[in-house]
Amino acid sequence: MTRRFDVFRNPLKSGREHRPYVVVIQHVFFDDLPTRVAVPLMTGTAIHMQPRLNPVFKILGQSLHLSPTEPFALSLRYLRNPVANLQADRDRIVAALDLVFTGI
């Protein structure tokens, strides 16, 4: 079962160098769908960081920035074996998404 804020290794090999992980942002209300909306977690060299928009998280010892302006849907078949869950950082993730979608 995939949970909201689960972190997975990026299944897209072509983008994995600068976007090594993705985090699921889709609400559990849509768990019946065969896909999940996710955003990448990016290396610091690949992003022009803005603190509220791009909060930093430690994933397996690596500091990575949320990139909420790059949402995409992934089939559940690519989302197995999460490496972390960012539920404890929910407020920072939702604040970044709010900034993207509402400007607030």
Domain membership flag for residue 1: no
Whether 47 contacts 74, CB under 8 Å: no
The conformation of residue 100, written as its DSSP 8-state character, comes to H
Could you read off the pLDDT of 60-75 as tens digits, one per residue?
A: 999 999 999 999 999 9
- Give the residue numbers spanning the domain of 67: 6-102
Compute the half-sphere exposure of residue 18: CA atoms within 13 Å on the CB side of its CA: 8
Cα–Cα nearest to 96, from 37, 56, 42, 48: 56
d(CA 21, CA 66): 10
pLDDT tens-digit profile of 27-55?
999 999 999 999 999 998 877 889 999 99
Please state the pTM of the whole predicted model: 0.95
Residues found in the chain: 104
What CATH number is associated with residue 92?
2.30.30.110
